[in-house]
Amino acid sequence: MPPRAKKARKDAPEILDPEIVLKEVRRCRAALAAATPIDARDVDLSAFRVVEDMAGDAVAGEIEKLFVECARTILAGASYKFDVPSRAAGNQHYVPELDRIVLKDNTSERSFASVNQTRKTAIMTRVLSLVHEVVTKGIHVTKRDLFYTDVKLFKKQEESDSVLDDCSCMLGCPRSCLNVVAADKGLVVGRLQFSEDGDPIDCTRMGVTGKAIPAYIDKITNIRSDAEFVLLVEKDAAYNRLAEDRFYNTFPCILITGKGQPDVATRMFLSRLKAELKIPVLAFVDSDPYGLKILSVYMSGSKAMSYDSASLTTPDIKWLGLRPSDLDAYSLPEQCRLPMTPKDIEMGKQLLKEEFVLKNPAWVRELERMLQTKQKAEIQALSAFGFQFVTKVYLPRKLRQGDWI
């Protein structure tokens, strides 16, 4: 028989009445609805590179301008080049008013005449020509499709993927406007309905594990929900447990997972849900530096795609669990705790230097506690108290107590 949490033994059975459990969530939702969101137009971003949505013909027009300039340079007897925005770590800036990372306006020259840059310049030229074809035809392709059009040139998909982001940044539009998408990765289930390219979707009727978050976020319209909150789950194993237990029916919510490090579509989808539904987003991640790092990608964006942070970030996500303080609060057995590796400790120390962490004293305390104890735990460690402990005790108690930061 599995061990049970000490508090679970001493306390009365956990309260599962939604009216009681969701009281604090509703208070959080009311505060969110009453808050005046910061308008990005009121923040001076003139020193940074800000991309804007473009129609397919506008993207094609920008590519044609680049190629015409390249042709003129070649006809003049010189080598053609591209001025590519730098996406290096030193060219990133955190904007506290918007709680997201943005890209500074520094650029670097990528010239076909430079021996070190010839191949990468050729890859960029090829990617731009392929994107022009795709947007002109009004179709979508995957990044894998793009890679296989010229395997000998690209060699590795990582190279064509990286250049694709460079192209998007250089053209001044989000990557989604290039009509090149990643394969479906994220999942959603629960109290959510929307239309996908005109087809009605009800996420309570999509089987146990729900629906794959579509890569074509621009085709999603008419989003509707009676959910009280969004529960963002780091890993699909924990998501599957919640989905199978129909947690969203007991406590009206929307469950989302990016299956670890989230893809662009999952990040965009979550951002849209928060903006349109105006309900809190609560995060359920591993109690380790990488869980918090993944949460930061959802909240403040990744440095690799900071140029498109406006459409990819979801500010003010609440850290519900699993937090370092929970390990003792729920008397997690020692055999379920893992020692932090040197790499974990280094990552934790780096996070303590990040501005998005420093602005939240409660996050700092949790990280410091983790580094002090040098212990970590995965969400699945809670299964030591029973496979349904998360859905029957842990999450209901957390929600009832408003225990998030």
- Of residues 313, 229, 219, the one with CA closest to residue 278: 229
The CA-atom distances, in angstroms, between 5 and each of 11, 88, 103, 259, 389 are 10, 46, 46, 27, 9
The residues facing 200 across adjacent strands are 195
The residues facing 400 across adjacent strands are none
CA pair distance 106, 49, nearest whole angstrom: 9
- Of residues 95, 94, 98, the one with CA closest to residue 39: 98
- Of residues 354, 403, 346, 389, the one with CA closest to residue 370: 346
CA pair distance 162, 128, nearest whole angstrom: 13
* Structure tokens, 111: 């010239």
* Structure tokens, 43: 């923040």
The residues facing 103 across adjacent strands are 49, 92
Active site residues: 148
CA pair distance 313, 229, nearest whole angstrom: 17
Collapsed DSSP state (helix, strand, coil) of residue 214? coil
Collapsed DSSP state (helix, strand, coil) of residue 229? strand
Identify the H or E element spanning 194: strand 193-196
DSSP string covering 300-313, please? H--GGGGGGHHHH-
- In the block, tokens 């599957």 appear at 240
Helices and strands, counts by H and E, the chain:
19, 18
Alpha helix ranges (H) inside 245-319:
247-250, 264-277, 289-300, 309-312
Angle at 233 between CA 227 and CA 238, to 5 degrees: 110
CA pair distance 79, 355, nearest whole angstrom: 42
